[in-house]
Chains A and B, each alone.
Chain A
């Protein structure tokens, strides 16, 4: 039990499908993240929400659309994906003391959602 729960754990979708990944954190944090983990590559930060406001979008294609309805929930909406988008998608959360400030607070990860695009 990590305190960060991701569903589904495994997802197979076609390139024309629309699906969503869900993340919920039970740690009382106020920042949430989506990371992408592909083989042989460093973890890539996709999106960051702090105090429910999106503060980072690292040039992610528009076929990925995040949603953060409150500080405990984070979604990643997927549509018209490509096979190269197949990867492990990791949700994470942390406390953030100041918006835009650096903090020593630890980021805690969920178990990940394995996505395969066919």
Chain B
């Protein structure tokens, strides 16, 4: 069975500092992994995904994520946090069967402190 774990409900980081939002996954076969961001009272916005190829994936708004197969992780990173990055971040994994639906983690709330 596929699953995603986001071990931190809340991450606080000072503006200008690097940020990391953690995600680990469990899936049969090769994983398809995604990160989404949700701003207050909004839907989910796609940030980036890993399908195959380079383990370091670059996405929107300066975010990147590193796929680590041995640690089954896909942590989201940004070199320098902005206050506007404060939001709820979701990691997701694609399942094998069905019509391409995603399984989501419980989300991590990122707060960037000015």
Chain A residues close to B by CB (< 8 Å) = 2, 4, 6, 31, 33, 40-43, 45, 48-50, 55-56, 90, 92, 94, 96, 99-112, 114
Contact = CB atoms under 8 A, between A and B. Distances in A.
B106 A41 contact: yes
A18 to B, nearest CB: 25
A48 B100 CA distance: 9
B106 A104 contact: no
A105 B34 CA distance: 10
Contacts, number: 80
Interface of B: 4, 32, 34, 36, 41-46, 49, 51-52, 90, 94-107
A38 to B, nearest CB: 11
A31 B100 contact: yes
B17 to A, nearest CB: 28
B100 A111 contact: no
B104 A110 contact: no
A40 B51 CA distance: 28
Given A100-B97, A102-B96, A102-B97, A107 B43 contact: no
Of A94, A100, A104, chain B has the most CB atoms within 10 Å of the CB of A104
A108 B52 CA distance: 20
Contact of A96 (B43, B51, B99, B104): B99
